Amino acid sequence: MRCTGDIEVRELEELAINIDPIQAGGRLTPEAMKAVIAYGDGYSVCDNCRKPFRLDQIKKPPIDAFHRDLARFVHMDEARVMPGARRGFQAVTGTFVGKGDPVLLTALSHYTSFLAVEAAGGIPREIPKDGKNRITGEAAAARIEEVTREFGRPPALLFVDHFDYQFGNEHEVREIAKAAHAHDIRVLYNGAYTVGILPVDGTELGVDFVVGSGHKSMASPAPSGVLATTKECAGELFRTTQAKGDLTQRQFGVKEVELLGCTLMGATIMGMMASFPAVKERVNHWQEELANGKIVTDALRSIGGTGILSEEPRRHTLTRVDTRDSFDRVAQTHKKRGYFFTSALGERGIGGVIPGATKVWKFNTYGLTRRQCGHLASAFTEIARENGLPVG
Amino acid sequence: MRCTGDIEVRELEELAINIDPIQAGGRLTPEAMKAVIAYGDGYSVCDNCRKPFRLDQIKKPPIDAFHRDLARFVHMDEARVMPGARRGFQAVTGTFVGKGDPVLLTALSHYTSFLAVEAAGGIPREIPKDGKNRITGEAAAARIEEVTREFGRPPALLFVDHFDYQFGNEHEVREIAKAAHAHDIRVLYNGAYTVGILPVDGTELGVDFVVGSGHKSMASPAPSGVLATTKECAGELFRTTQAKGDLTQRQFGVKEVELLGCTLMGATIMGMMASFPAVKERVNHWQEELANGKIVTDALRSIGGTGILSEEPRRHTLTRVDTRDSFDRVAQTHKKRGYFFTSALGERGIGGVIPGATKVWKFNTYGLTRRQCGHLASAFTEIARENGLPVG
């Protein structure tokens, strides 16, 4: 069905249980959909923008209050909305990383953090993962010393994912931050997979920056996100422009350099705001989400030859699974080849797995009901049985 | 009326003729609204993202074809969508401006271009405007020589607005680009007020970068925009990442550094795409837009003491007007003070003027019908007559 012009309507969320690994936390709430319709037009939130003319100070709609709420939500002092988590990374590297400065990331860091370091001219160095694909405080401490020796100075910044995008494993944020602070290294907490789906307390974790993604985990349209920080770092990170027109003597008031002024001027910010009450509430139900997810991982593990590559017990709903010795074996001789699997899932109303994927793949049960997870679990075991794989 | 939670519904476009200077070109088309509803969810366009995993190469929805169309639309070789024109500026300064490099802007440049220069560590220098508030090729040539003497090297980049945000005046882009190229200076064309509302031919103008704004002039949700360039500059501007994980040896494929990978992953890109057929068509009706706008400027000029500060004849629908000797005089003694004017406009179904503004202000008639412009013109003269100002 066409939506308009040559654009097909998107029906995935209406027609299927979507287990795509990156889409789960970004589905709009009904409230966000209403706000997006009401505020779809370009500069829609600027109707009542008054001096000093800055997005985070607009009172109607209450964007100013939302900024304060956002900071409180992640337990930091100041927050700004950004066009995606990656632009939050870039604001931090643009402020604190100089050309040639070493920056610590991890062996599981997302590519966008590498790009943000590269854009600032920094030199990325990784903290290794352990045998269980976890980043520990100990590994961070060792690597800090190593990199400090290599460069003759400590890293300018350290990125750490609370949960990484590859395994959905939890990493030792608190211990890593402690190790970094012992060397006066600032710590950026990448909460793309946490802020908006589980409780995040940046102060308690002891990090300097909390970055979250609106379209990944806050039920918001893309690109959107949040960058929060401490009182200590806010002055530098959110510094206002010093630029001046040399002929006109123009100055540009309170516009923030790394934000390039205002960031999200319409549908995106309003979607974030409208979803926010539901988002604040849903983080309290994380344990239920994990319990639902366990139904699915238990089912998958019961299929002979199938391995859960993510840490267990699962502490996140994003899970990496290895079906090379189960579903991929079936694919070798099935007349549909690898497509048999996604096709069989499709027949059961399940979408979001890359067509043909039967080797190592990821899924996310976030936001599914217990019943939907039960259906998903049964679907996996049924498909296994139908194709002669041992279950149980 | 509440839209959701504590968010009021936005009704300005439904209840009034909106003459806000920055909102006119960013009103969504009905097609964009449909696409925004269908693709509102966070990472909605990623359903069919396949290798090499990059937004501008997604075939379904046809985002790849849209990128080619966009480049053709502004007569450049390559284009990318960006989270706003300002992020396009930043990509160019991030690539071509080094710390301490002089960069030429104009006495009428928008603050976001200053911020993009500042973020890259460049030193802004302005090209002066002439007595008619226009930037000429001659002024650019003189300033290039001056700045080259000052810094011992030519500017690293030159920004020029085709039409500026203050007066909506047209500037000598072609001549300025010629002067810049005589010194091997790259030229960035700021088309925030042109791309999407009037025909733009970057090749014919001889510029190296064309930047446009989706939410300002392409009937799209914010933040969105386009950054287009030539074959010669595309390699550097759209360079792919060289970053590498030093332990894991991970590399990050074709991800583009200045874009930080993908830019607009849902409602924003789909809004741009859905509006694009209408946008391509509407640029052909620019002369009608100017003719409609003239009805309004003629009416304003007929009110004693009112001056059109923008160049005339008008070549843009954004106009700056001086009513210090007309409506502001009324305000001195009116019981509503300055609010009498916006209140009288409001009674006539006209919105988008800052409440209380009666001195120097801007409006934009873009997208209004001839009849709406007639109504607007009559409203201004009626309000003048009712308040004892001479008309005619």
CATH number at residue B329: 3.90.1150.10
- Give chain B positions within 8 Å (CB) of A140: none
CATH of the domain at B89: 3.40.640.10
* Chain A interface mutation, best of B105, B123, B260, B272, highest count of A Cβ atoms under 10 Å: B260
CB-based contact B219 A40, cutoff 8 Å: no
Same domain, B162 and B291: no
- Give chain B positions within 8 Å (CB) of A114: 241, 243, 245, 252
CB-based contact B42 A28, cutoff 8 Å: yes
Q: Which residues pair with B190 in a beta bridge?
A: B161, B211
Radius of gyration for chain B, computed over Cα atoms and rounded to the nearest angstrom: 23
Which one-letter DSSP state was computed for residue A60? T
Kindly give the parts of chain A with pLDDT less than 70. Answer: none
Instruction: Supply the mean pLDDT for chain B.
Output: 97
pLDDT reported for residue A1 = 87
Same domain, A174 and A246: yes
* Chain B interface mutation, best of A64, A265, A361, highest count of B Cβ atoms under 10 Å: A265
- Of A8, A105, A248, which has the smallest distance from its Cβ to B61's Cβ? A8
CA B188 to each of CA A245, A252, B102, B162, B182: distance values in angstroms, whole numbers, following the listed order: 18, 21, 14, 10, 15
CB burial string A280-301: b at 16+ within 10 A, e below: eebbeebeebbebbbbbbebbe
Instruction: Note whether A29 and A361 are within 8 A (CB).
Output: no
Q: Could you give the CA distance from residue B304 to residue B390 in angstroms, rounded to a whole number?
A: 5
Residues in chain A: 392
pLDDT reported for residue B383 = 98
CB-based contact B23 A37, cutoff 8 Å: no
Identify the domain boundary among B228, B263, B282: B282
Phi, psi of B9 (to 5 degrees): -70, 150
CB-based contact A23 B44, cutoff 8 Å: yes
**What is the bridge-based pairing of β-strands B307-308 and B318-322?**
antiparallel
Same domain, B271 and B288: no
Q: Could you give the CA distance from residue A345 to residue B335 in angstroms, rounded to a whole number?
A: 71
CB-based contact B274 A247, cutoff 8 Å: no
In a domain, B2, yes or no: no
Token output for B256: 């583009």
Identify the domain boundary among B282, B299, B322: B282
- Of A12, A26, A248, which has the smallest distance from its Cβ to B42's Cβ? A26
Answer positive or negative: Cα dihedral of A319, A322, A327, A328: positive
Q: Which residues contact A172 (CB under 8 A, 6 or more apart)?
A: A134, A135, A136, A137, A140
- Give chain B positions within 8 Å (CB) of A41: 10, 13, 23, 26-28, 221
What residue in A sits closest to B217 (Cα-Cα)?
Answer: A42
Nearest to B228 by CA among B204, B202, B205, B254: B202
What residue in A sits closest to B106 (Cα-Cα)?
Answer: A245
In a domain, B51, yes or no: yes
Kindly give the parts of chain B with pLDDT less than 70. Answer: none
CB pairs under 8 A between A and B: 295
Segment B154-201, tens digit of pLDDT? 999 999 999 999 999 999 999 999 999 999 999 999 999 999 999 999
Same domain, A103 and A137: yes
Q: Could you give the CA distance from residue B94 to residue B85 in angstroms, rounded to a whole number?
A: 14
Same domain, A93 and A17: no
Q: Could you give the CA distance from residue B275 to residue B147 in angstroms, rounded to a whole number?
A: 42
Q: Could you give the CA distance from residue B61 to residue B51 in angstroms, rounded to a whole number?
A: 15
Token output for A285: 């139900």
Q: Please give the helix or strand (H or E) that residue A79 lies within, else none.
A: strand A78-82
Identity of residue B73: F
- Of A116, A246, A257, which has the smallest distance from its Cβ to B119's Cβ? A257
Same domain, B17 and B136: no
CB-based contact B267 A214, cutoff 8 Å: no
- Report ipTM for this prediction: 0.98
In sequence order, what E strands does chain B have? 2-4, 7-8, 17-18, 78-82, 102-106, 123-127, 157-161, 186-190, 209-213, 225-229, 307-308, 318-322, 350-351, 360-364
Angle (CA) A364 A26 B57, round 5°: 90
- Give chain B positions within 8 Å (CB) of A47: 10, 12, 20, 352
Q: Could you give the CA distance from residue B75 to residue A265 in angstroms, rounded to a whole number?
A: 28
Phi, psi of A189 (to 5 degrees): -90, 115
CB burial string B189-213: b at 16+ within 10 A, e below: bbbbbbbbbbebebeebbbbbbbbb
Residues in chain B: 392
Nearest to B210 by CA among B300, B56, B92: B92
Q: Which residues pair with A256 in a beta bridge?
A: A240
Instruction: Note whether B136 and B155 are within 8 A (CB).
Output: no
- Give chain A positions within 8 Å (CB) of B41: 10, 13, 23, 26-28, 221
In a domain, B392, yes or no: no
Q: How far apart are the first and last CA of chain B?
A: 41
What residue in A sits closest to B93 (Cα-Cα)?
Answer: A119
Segment B81-100, tens digit of pLDDT? 999 999 999 999 999 999 99
Question: Is residue B199 helix, strand or coil?
Answer: coil
What residue in B sits closest to A89 (Cα-Cα)?
Answer: B260
> How far does the CA of residue B242 sit from the closest CA of chain A (Å)?
8
CB burial string A119-144: b at 16+ within 10 A, e below: bbebbbbbbebeeebbbbbebbbebb
CB-based contact A222 B247, cutoff 8 Å: no
Same domain, B326 and B253: no
How many domains does chain B fold into?
A: 2
- Of A3, A38, A247, which has the smallest distance from its Cβ to B9's Cβ? A38
Angle (CA) A206 B42 A204, round 5°: 10
pLDDT reported for residue B180 = 98
pLDDT reported for residue B96 = 98
Instruction: Note whether B79 and B67 are within 8 A (CB).
Output: yes
- Of A10, A89, A116, which has the smallest distance from its Cβ to B38's Cβ? A10
In a domain, B243, yes or no: yes
> How far does the CA of residue B70 sit from the closest CA of chain A (Å)?
16
Same domain, A103 and A228: yes
In a domain, B376, yes or no: yes
Same domain, A242 and A293: no
Same domain, B266 and B293: no
CB-based contact A36 B40, cutoff 8 Å: yes
Identify the domain boundary among B282, B300, B317: B282
Same domain, B194 and B323: no
Q: Could you give the CA distance from residue B368 to residue B18 in angstroms, rounded to a whole number?
A: 9
* Chain B interface mutation, best of A1, A6, A7, highest count of B Cβ atoms under 10 Å: A7
CB-based contact B260 A62, cutoff 8 Å: no
pLDDT reported for residue B307 = 98
Instruction: Note whether A329 and A387 are within 8 A (CB).
Output: no
What residue in B sits closest to A102 (Cα-Cα)?
Answer: B246
In a domain, B240, yes or no: yes
Question: Which residues form the domain of A323?
Answer: 2-24+284-386
Which one-letter DSSP state was computed for residue A156? S
* Chain B interface mutation, best of A47, A104, A109, A262, highest count of B Cβ atoms under 10 Å: A47
Same domain, B187 and B152: yes
